[in-house]
């Protein structure tokens, strides 16, 4: 019985760690999407077309896994940001959307 409790606690701890950082969850992506001149370098970072800044680097490190795993480790805000980003580039930078 004790083993089962310890195992359950260990699994909860592992699952709790299996999420992405929430450091940039309050990022105003709408402001970037509203200005295509801000959006181009943002998107370009993700597509290896241009250098990344600290913010885009932070997002970029998690994007491949998030896309591959259908955002399984994302919280609700991160899912919202991903959806907002994809909808934004589809409308404003359609080739980047295809390349993404």
Which residue is it, tokens 């709790």? 16
Question: What are the residues whose beta carbons fall under 8 Å from the beta carbon of 20, sequence distance 6 or more?
Answer: 62, 66, 73, 74, 75, 78
Q: State the Cα–Cα distance between residues 8 and 10, nearest whole angstrom.
A: 5
Mean pLDDT score, 60-74: 94
Question: Coil, strand or helix: which one is 81?
Answer: helix
Select the more confidently predicted residue: 38 or 12: 38
Higher per-residue pLDDT: 87 or 2 = 87
pTM over 0.85: no
Domains of the chain: 27-99 (1.10.2080.10)
| Statement: residue 81 has pLDDT above 70 | yes
């Amino acid at each position: 019985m004790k083993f089962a409790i310890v195992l359950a606690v260990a699994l909860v701890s592992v699952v709790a760690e299996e999420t992405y950082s929430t450091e940039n969850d309050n990022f105003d992506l709408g402001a970037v999407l509203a200005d295509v001149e801000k959006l181009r370098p943002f998107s370009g970072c993700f597509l290896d077309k241009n250098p990344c800044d600290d913010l885009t680097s932070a997002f970029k490190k998690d994007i491949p896994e998030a896309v591959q795993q259908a955002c399984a480790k994302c919280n609700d805000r991160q899912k919202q940001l991903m959806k907002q980003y994809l909808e934004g580039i589809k409308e404003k930078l359609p080739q980047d959307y295809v390349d993404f």
